[in-house]
Every structure is written in structure tokens, then in C-alpha cells.
């Protein structure tokens, strides 16, 4: 009888841990993409606070377009504020840079910014923070170099 009770208790725990692992995993790459690697780092808070913004750029090479790379950039911030992450990269084949952005509001938030760019282009990740009761916003940027593989 004791074993059945312990097994019943383990089922919800296993289900919850599986769900948590799935919710924080990378979006699956399509059959068209090959995983290259992950580049991670941090960006100082534009407002000067101790809490930093952390990013992980999971890079994938396209097999159908020889000069294309997919960037799935996860940005997280443990502090409490309204902020926006924007990624810009040169489009495959040259031309103008394209950008994608995601917004977060509240404490301990994480966003995903996905961007397709040229295989050899650096991604510029910019964090915008809008302070309370002040006009405008404050920004910080970092260049993420492409991984070689």
C-alpha cells in the first residue's frame, strides 16, 4: 500500500518537471536547419542598476539557403521593469538590416526574439528600458558574432 501512494505522488511531480522542461526549451528547428551552437552573455542595465540582462543566442544554419542563419535569442531579466529587446541583422544576400522585437513587463521576465540573417553577419541586440515617471527610454546594445562550425 505504501508503494502505491509513493508512486501516485511521483506522477504529478514528473509531469510538472516535464512541462517545465518543455516550456523553457528552444523552439524546434525545422528540418531545414542545422544547430550550430549557443552564444551567451550579459548586458548592463541601461538604468545603472545591479541586475543585468542575460541572453542566449541559439544559432542554426539553413540547409536550403546557403547564406542564411537563424538566431533564437532568449533574453531574461531578474529585475522588475518594463523593457523591450530588439535584434537587428543584415538580411541574407545583403541589403538592409531587418529587426524583430519583443516586450516584457513585470518581474523576472524572459522573451524570445527570432531573426533570420546573413551567415556572416553580426546580430545587434538592443535593450530598451522605460523608467517610471520619466520621458523617453534608455538603451544598451551588444554585438553578437556568428559562431563558426
**What total of structural domains would you count in the chain?**
1
Local confidence band at 20 (pLDDT 50, 70, 90 cut-offs): very low
Q: What is the mean pLDDT of residues 15-22?
A: 47
Answer yes or no: is 8 within a domain. Answer: no
Band (pLDDT 50/70/90 cuts) for residue 11 is: low
Evaluate whether residue 22 is within a structural domain: no
Q: What's the confidence (pLDDT) of residue 141?
A: 94
Q: Is residue 19 part of a domain?
A: no
Question: Which CATH number characterizes residue 66's domain?
Answer: 2.60.40
Residue 139 lies in a domain: yes
Contact between 71 and 63 under an 8 Å Cβ cutoff? The reply is no
pTM score, whole prediction? 0.75
pLDDT for res 49: 79
Q: Which domain holds residue 108?
A: 28-144
38 pLDDT band (50/70/90 cuts)? very high
Distance CA 4, CA 92 (A): 58
Q: Residue 47 falls within a domain, yes or no?
A: yes
Residue 63 belongs to some domain of the structure? yes
Tally the C-alpha atoms within 13 A of residue 3's C-alpha that lie toward its C-beta.
0
Which residue stretches of the chain are H helix?
A: 2-23
Amino acid at each position: 500500500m505504501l508503494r502505491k501512494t509513493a508512486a501516485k505522488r511521483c506522477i504529478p511531480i514528473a509531469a510538472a518537471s516535464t512541462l517545465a522542461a518543455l516550456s523553457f526549451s528552444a523552439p524546434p528547428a525545422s528540418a531545414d536547419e542545422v544547430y550550430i551552437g549557443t552564444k551567451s552573455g550579459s548586458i548592463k542595465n541601461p538604468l545603472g542598476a545591479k541586475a543585468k540582462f542575460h541572453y542566449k543566442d541559439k544559432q542554426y544554419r539553413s540547409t536550403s539557403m546557403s547564406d542564411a542563419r537563424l538566431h533564437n535569442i532568449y533574453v531574461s531579466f531578474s529585475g522588475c521593469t518594463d523593457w523591450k529587446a530588439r535584434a537587428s541583422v543584415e538580411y541574407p544576400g545583403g541589403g538592409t538590416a531587418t529587426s524583430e522585437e519583443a516586450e516584457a513587463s513585470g518581474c523576472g521576465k524572459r522573451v524570445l526574439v527570432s531573426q533570420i540573417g546573413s551567415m556572416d553577419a553580426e546580430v545587434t541586440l538592443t535593450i530598451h528600458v522605460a523608467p517610471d515617471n520619466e520621458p523617453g527610454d534608455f538603451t544598451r546594445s551588444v554585438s553578437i558574432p556568428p559562431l563558426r562550425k
